[in-house]
Structure 1
Amino acid sequence: MTKIDGAAAPMRMVETGSAAAAQSARAGATRSAPVAATPEADSLRLTGEATGLQTLARDLGAAPAGIDMDRVNAVRASIADGSYRIDSQAIANRMLDLERALS
């Protein structure tokens, strides 16, 4: 039978020095050791739209640029000399056509 007399319980000694370091190493606390990779459990499945975009990006990257440099230089020259005119109605119509196509 234990007598309760209000005295504190005896204190336990804490390991210090090399004994604590050995305990820490056993617990995996060393940071210099390499960590093993976890096995792959996640998977990724692309939607049809994502697959199509991926294919388009691959095709655009592999295909020649298809840029008409003569046309680009003509537009640059007309912008530089101030003769380039912007047809705001044509731009608005094309934007509306694109909006209708996406809807």
Structure 2
Amino acid sequence: MSQKIEGVPPPAVRSTGPVGGHVAPAGADRSGPVEATQAGDSLRLTGEATGLQALQRELSAAPAVDSARVAEVRQAVESGSYRIDPARIADRMLEMDRLLG
């Protein structure tokens, strides 16, 4: 049985070989560091990215829990003066949904 294939030949395959053309021989020690090639690229952060980095550093240094606020709420609950405002909670939930959506 024979088949005739017609059409456009496939595009040339680009090599994904090693950078710089250096290939380690089979069985060679590959546990050492790979030498970097000379790069002409550079990176410059925008003002927004720099601000985000500063914010990240600030938040990572801050405590995860506001102990003073926890003590304040605990005291209000124990004394019976802690008041729940369902309308305010609903408004804040809707606002968060709007910001996320």
How does the TM-score come out when normalised to structure 1?
0.39
Larger Rg: 1
Larger RCO (CA within 8 A; separation ≥ 6): 2
TM-score, structure 2 normalization = 0.40
